[in-house]
């Protein structure tokens, strides 16, 4: 399920007094909880947002196409297993519904609400549709406005079957302390023409944004426990960025497995000497 933490963690616990209740695993879980609340948790590992095909035509075409297919296959298999696990019986109906067709219009509506709230100085709406980490830059910009400064905003979304488009969808465990808490992450490409009116000045730009939205659900009932919110914006995955992310991901795995193997070896040696 593209999970980094799918093994027993008893060896990570730091022996301390019972009164303080501190463990290394518990400390890590607390960090993850704060990341989820603030929206600072990074993109899920293996997130792949494809470049437009014209951007990778050339010598890297076959290598990039293969990586794109491999990333899609891994996520597809992971989602398929999760869907199968959500059924009460082997051949029963799955409880978990991805409803991927609903995600692009939902993300686009959130994006519109965010930009219109920014122009109107509506902090409450920004806090509702975006995570604290992502929304703070808009709130800070509002707070820096001059008193009496008026702004209005227009957004015209590109119509057609191409946008808004779901570029990536993943679901995985998001907390090492709670195996039942799952996260859904989607990247949606949104194309628009934006006009910002500030007094007599009008600024117009054509924008293509890759908007990341997230929410959580729980295994068992497989129902959402939070609403979709804008987590961040991102960029398409380049070959260089993918290789760097893979190297970093593999390094973290080696560190975790190395720590576990080293602990087990030390424990076995102590038992043998005893």
What is the model's pLDDT at position 11? 37
Whether 160 maps to a domain, the answer reads: yes
Whether 8 maps to a domain, the answer reads: no
What is the model's pLDDT at position 252? 65
Give one DSSP letter per residue of 94-149, joined into a string.
Answer: PS----GGGHHHHHHHHHHHHHHHHHHT-HHHHHHHB-HHHHHHHHHHHHTSPTT-
Whether 67 maps to a domain, the answer reads: yes
Whether 6 maps to a domain, the answer reads: no
Whether 121 maps to a domain, the answer reads: yes
Residue 69 burial (10 A CB sphere; 0-12, 13-18, 19+): exposed
What is the model's pLDDT at position 193? 92
Q: Which residues pair with 130 in a beta bridge?
A: 230
What is the model's pLDDT at position 179? 81
Q: Which residues pair with 90 in a beta bridge?
A: none
Is the distance from CB of 183 to CB of 5 less than 8 angstroms? no
218: cis peptide before it, omega within 30°?
Answer: no
Is the distance from CB of 28 to CB of 204 less than 8 angstroms? no
Whether 209 maps to a domain, the answer reads: yes
Whether 150 maps to a domain, the answer reads: yes
What is the model's pLDDT at position 18? 42
Residue with tokens 């463990």: 23
List of the chain residues with pLDDT < 50: 1-22, 24, 260-263
For residue 205, the enclosing domain spans 21-268
Whether 7 maps to a domain, the answer reads: no
The kind and range of the H/E element at 70 are helix 61-85
What is the model's pLDDT at position 17? 40
Residue with tokens 């075409």: 61
- Structural domain tally of the chain? 1
pTM of the model: 0.77
């Amino acid at each position: 399920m593209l999970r980094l933490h799918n093994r027993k963690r008893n060896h990570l616990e730091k022996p301390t007094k019972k009164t303080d209740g501190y463990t290394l695993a518990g400390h890590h879980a607390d960090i993850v909880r704060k990341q989820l609340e603030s929206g600072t948790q990074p993109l899920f590992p293996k997130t792949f947002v494809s470049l437009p095909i014209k951007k990778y035509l050339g010598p890297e075409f076959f290598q990039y196409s293969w990586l794109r297919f491999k990333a899609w296959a891994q996520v597809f298999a992971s989602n398929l297993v999760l869907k199968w696990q959500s059924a009460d019986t082997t051949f029963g109906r799955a409880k978990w519904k991805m409803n991927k067709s609903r995600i692009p219009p939902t993300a686009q509506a959130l994006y519109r609400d965010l930009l219109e709230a920014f122009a109107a100085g509506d902090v409450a709406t920004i806090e509702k549709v975006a995570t604290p980490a992502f929304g703070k830059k808009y709130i800070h910009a509002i707070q820096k406005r001059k008193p009496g400064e008026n702004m209005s905003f227009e957004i015209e979304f590109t119509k057609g079957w191409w946008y808004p488009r779901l570029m990536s969808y993943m679901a995985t465990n998001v907390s090492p302390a709670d195996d039942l808490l799952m996260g859904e992450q989607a990247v949606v490409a949104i194309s628009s023409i934006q006009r910002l009116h500030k007094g007599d000045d009008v600024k117009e730009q054509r924008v293509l944004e890759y908007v990341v939205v997230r929410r959580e659900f729980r295994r068992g009932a497989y129902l959402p426990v939070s609403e979709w919110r804008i987590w961040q914006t991102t960029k398409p995955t380049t070959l260089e960025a993918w290789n760097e992310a893979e190297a970093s991901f593999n390094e973290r795995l080696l560190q975790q497995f190395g720590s576990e193997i080293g602990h087990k070896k030390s424990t076995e040696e102590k038992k043998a000497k005893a």
